[in-house]
Amino acid sequence: MITAGIDVGAKNVKIVLFEDGEVVARGTGLMEMDREQSIQIAYQATLKDNDIQEQAVERVVATGAGAKSVVFATDRSTLVTCISRGVRAANPSIRTIIDIGANDAMAIKCDETGKVVDFAVNEKCAAGAGSFVEAMARAMEVSLEEFVAFSLASTKSIPINAQCVIFAESEVVSLIHEDTDRNDICRAVHDAMAGRIASMARRVRIEPPVAVTGGASYNQGMLDSLTKELDIALTRTDNAEYVAAHGAALLAAEGRGSA
């Protein structure tokens, strides 16, 4: 039986196809103004690229902020449930999960059986998510890859105090005008983001081992800052951006959803 998990985020839609206990396909696509069309395009492309007929997919579980836009879904499940299910399938020892997406971040606490016992989400402002770093990179007129490299080269910690993306951008511009070393500015942005994520994560009483998921977890500058802030080892999961979709596909295979 082939099942599908579809995670509809603010920036991307992620798709995982599952068969006989194995992932057989992954796909992704940008979210445009028309959500339903964006999902259909990404889904059909994933099927085509992996030579899978749509009628062969028996169940589809959708998750994420735009889950309701997956009009062909068999069922839906919460992001917390899907992320924890996806992570624990890969590593059952994980007790705490920190997920960092484009616009949101969350921390999930699991017990020894894998059951979610607590979770916390960041505030509405995106200053604790991946889009915050992207906005700061644009303000500095560098690519995200360059921004991360500059941050990792920094040898000095300086504060950014603004609690809002808009105000933080103004603060970064001021630092640029003051001829502050760009390496230190980039590190300051990551440190500020890490501080907000850590504050949110501590609300669930972090217990190791800790896994980090979500597309923003590939930002090594942010990951280094978060590791220093929490003073604990962090493990980035394989295919970190697909974890929620993977969990949704597993739930579909088990005939579950609506959790």
> Which of 3.30.1130.10, 3.30.420.40, 3.30.460.10, 3.40.50.2300 would CATH assign to domain 93-236?
3.30.420.40
Q: Determine the average pLDDT of the residues in 70-97.
A: 95
Domain ranges of the chain: 1-91+240-259, 93-236
Please say if the pLDDT value at position 85 is more than 90: yes
Give per-residue burial for 184-217: e unless 16+ CB within 10 Å, then b: bbbbbbbbbbbbbbbebbeebebeeebbbbbbbb
Q: Which amino acid is at 102?
A: A
Please say if the pLDDT value at position 165 is more than 70: no
The pLDDT of residue 162? 59
Q: Which stretches of the chain are assigned E, i.e. beta strand?
A: 2-8, 12-19, 22-30, 57-63, 75-76, 96-100, 105-110, 116-121, 210-213, 234-236
Confidence of residue 159 (pLDDT cuts 50, 70, 90): confident
Same fold, 1-91+240-259 and 93-236: yes
The pLDDT of residue 100? 92
- What is the pTM (predicted TM-score) of this model? 0.90
Tens digits of residue pLDDT in 28-83: 999 998 999 999 999 999 999 999 999 999 999 999 989 999 999 999 999 999 99
Class of the 1-91+240-259 domain? alpha beta
The overall average pLDDT reported for the chain is 90
Q: Sign of torsion, CA 248 55 11 49? A: positive
